[in-house]
Structure 1
Amino acid sequence: MIGSLTLDQLRVLVTIAETGSFSATGRKLGRAQSAISQAVATLESIQGVTLFDRSGHRPRLTDVGRALVAQARSVLAGAAHFEALAASTRDGVEAELAVAIDPLVPSAAFIDSLHALRAAFPYLPVSFSTEGLGGAERRLRRGDAALAFCVLLPGVPEDLVALPLLAIDLIPVVAAEHPLAQLGRPATRADLGGHVQLVLSDPSAPDGPSYGIVGTKVWRFVELGRRMDFLTASLGWCRMPEQLVAPLLTAGRLIRLEIEDDPARASGPLTIYAAHMRDRPLGRAGSWLLTDLQARLS
């Protein structure tokens, strides 16, 4: 009950609007017509408005009645959502699932899993954030996210439970117009040192762990898309996920660099992890999302 207003009164109002009569509403709700008429009269009296024009054979909604029916539908839907969310939390589903993702994580499979999650848990509030490298792990530690999909450099910390999801090959690339693309031979460290390297960086720890940096001319980026803009504009070279740049390589807009004694080659692919805090286990929805994403990536 909201003050003197009840959900039952709103349900009666909406049902009359749908069926077109008090008698049909009584039959649908299993009540006497007199009880329906009394519910409407009480609602009108409490709110100080006239909801129905009763001058004709059938009651017709007044202008204010039509407006309030729309509001009543919204309130009833919200109440149903409230009850469904409470029921799901009793069954072990999180009250909310907050997910964080690092910029190197591929989007396609993750988006498909989020669609599937919405279908499986339609009343679950889901929040999502993406930021610079290392941002997903920071959100986990602050308690702003329950589940993170991220790169963990230089290794997996003890206080995280981290499941390897996939390995990403980062290949060195440069725009076709860039001087490095014209070498005609593997680039040496001296060759690379004379040009800008475009690097994804953790904005909170720019001097933290890095992957495959060569030379001292480094421009740092938080967003993968912005770094791609600078790459295709011939402002530098960088290492990019092979799947992401494959269409540009095929079109000839980017060229794959061969690097002599590339230090990143020994490190191998980067691992993307699904991680959560060890002392904060995932609920049903988080576990479901992780299982679904694993299946898609496999």
Structure 2
Amino acid sequence: MELRQMQVVVAVAEAGGFSAAGRRLRLVQSAVSATVRAVERELDVPLFDRSTHRAVPTAAGEAFVAAARTALSAADQVHAAVDAVRGVLRGRVTLGVMQGLLGGLPPAIGALRRAHPGVVVRLRQAPAEEIVDAVREGTVDLAVIALTGRPRGLVGVELMRDRMVALVGPRADLPDARVTLAELARHPFVDIAPGWAIRHVVDRAFRAAGVERAGVFETNDILAAVELVRADLGVTIFPATLAALFPDLRTVAIRRAPTWTAGVVHRKGPLVPAAAALLEHLERAGSGG
């Protein structure tokens, strides 16, 4: 069995379908289907349940995908080891990132690419819990998330700490001086949806203050939340660095402001060279170096 065949089967499992896997691999759907059928004939077992609109791995398919990921990772390490002897760093690293943290990553990725043009970085954006699960499964090498606790079974490296601020519309009836959470709670509130780290930090801060807010709007899109605030339909709370991306809106400091901590997580054990190099650049960017 060839590594390319393993890559195709893994892509189908990750993308949830043959067409989506073909787009990812730049193959026509018929080639993807033919490859999967060839592997199934060789193993004499179906790898996917094709009775639904999605290609869902069977029990044998799940076992195959887990083993194939290990084999593909080992192959990448073989190539990386040979390249390292030649003084060349190549490979592919998948970087997971939760919403609201993408803005600080391009400088680190750019520095990596200038130092090692042969390294390809794939970005995957999703809620923190989903990204952390992907790191545990090995489908994501590194993940930049809000560190709201110690991720079970993973290594966490803090990159930055940031205070949170109120982001308010142009006609919001709030002073420029520091406000309390109780004062903010008197206004309609634009909440980020449950499951996102911003919501977790904000919920925890209001609970600790013993204050309830009226969550009038709820969205899983940062830009949608900003547009609601810009229309003076409510106020929200963002990390200061994120709020600074919208200079047309006013930020108001919060008394006893909650702290936003961002960091990178990865599985225990040595990283492949490309991932280790990216982690080094992320840490350097986080420390301001």
TM-score by length of 2: 0.57
Residue 122 of structure 1 corresponds to 117
Mapped pair 1:197 → 2:195: no
Mapped pair 1:136 → 2:134: no
Give the C-alpha shift of residue 91 in structure 1. Answer: 4.1
Query: Could you report, residue by residue, the CA deviation over 1:222-275 in whole angstroms, capped at 9, with x for unpaired residues?
Result: 2222221112121211112223334756x5x4251555xx5xx3x5x2211111
Residue 105 of structure 1 corresponds to 101
Query: Could you report, residue by residue, the CA deviation over 1:71-99 in whole angstroms, capped at 9, with x for unpaired residues?
Result: xxxxxxxxxxxxx9974353466753110
Residue ranges of structure 1 left out of the alignment (5+ in a row):
1-83
| Aligned AA (1:295) | R
Mapped pair 1:221 → 2:216: no
Label 1:94 to 1:256 Cα distance change in 2 as closer, same or farther (>3 A): same
CA contact (8 A) 1:102 1:134 kept: no
Give the C-alpha shift of residue 130 in structure 1. Answer: 1.6
For residues 245 and 207 of structure 1, what CA distance do their matches in structure 2 show? 15
Residue 271 of structure 2 corresponds to 282
Mapped pair 1:291 → 2:280: yes
Residue 168 of structure 2 corresponds to 174
Residue 146 of structure 1 corresponds to 141
| Aligned AA (2:260) | L
Mark the structure with the bigger radius of gyration.
Answer: 1
Tell me the secondary structure at the aligned position of residue 291 of structure 1: helix
Query: Could you report, residue by residue, the CA deviation over 1:119-168 in whole angstroms, capped at 9, with x for unpaired residues?
Result: 33333332101223444323213432110111132x11330100111102
CA contact (8 A) 1:175 1:237 kept: yes
| Aligned AA (2:126) | E
CA contact (8 A) 1:197 1:238 kept: yes
Give the C-alpha shift of residue 285 in structure 1. Answer: 1.4
| Aligned AA (2:134) | R
Tell me the secondary structure at the aligned position of residue 274 of structure 1: strand
Give the C-alpha shift of residue 211 in structure 1. Answer: 4.0
Residue ranges of structure 2 left out of the alignment (5+ in a row):
1-75
TM-score by length of 1: 0.56
Task: Give matches, 1:19-168, under 5 Å.
Answer: 87-91=79-83, 95-105=91-101, 107-108=103-104, 110-153=105-148, 155-168=149-162
Label 1:239 to 1:294 Cα distance change in 2 as closer, same or farther (>3 A): same
| Aligned AA (1:122) | P
Label 1:103 to 1:217 Cα distance change in 2 as closer, same or farther (>3 A): same
Label 1:238 to 1:133 Cα distance change in 2 as closer, same or farther (>3 A): farther
CA contact (8 A) 1:131 1:223 kept: no
CA contact (8 A) 1:134 1:150 kept: no
Give the C-alpha shift of residue 207 in structure 1. Answer: 9.1
For residues 185 and 95 of structure 1, what CA distance do their matches in structure 2 show? 48
For residues 198 and 157 of structure 2, what CA distance do their matches in structure 1 show? 26
Deviates more, 1:228-237 or 1:216-225: 216-225
| Aligned AA (1:171) | V
For residues 197 and 243 of structure 2, what CA distance do their matches in structure 1 show? 27
CA contact (8 A) 1:134 1:202 kept: no
Label 1:188 to 1:244 Cα distance change in 2 as closer, same or farther (>3 A): closer
CA contact (8 A) 1:85 1:124 kept: no
| Aligned AA (1:159) | G
For residues 82 and 161 of structure 2, what CA distance do their matches in structure 1 show? 37
CA contact (8 A) 2:177 2:252 kept: no
CA contact (8 A) 2:80 2:273 kept: no
Give the C-alpha shift of residue 107 in structure 1. Answer: 1.7
Q: Please report the RMSD computed on the Cα atoms of aligned residues, expressed in angstroms.
A: 3.5
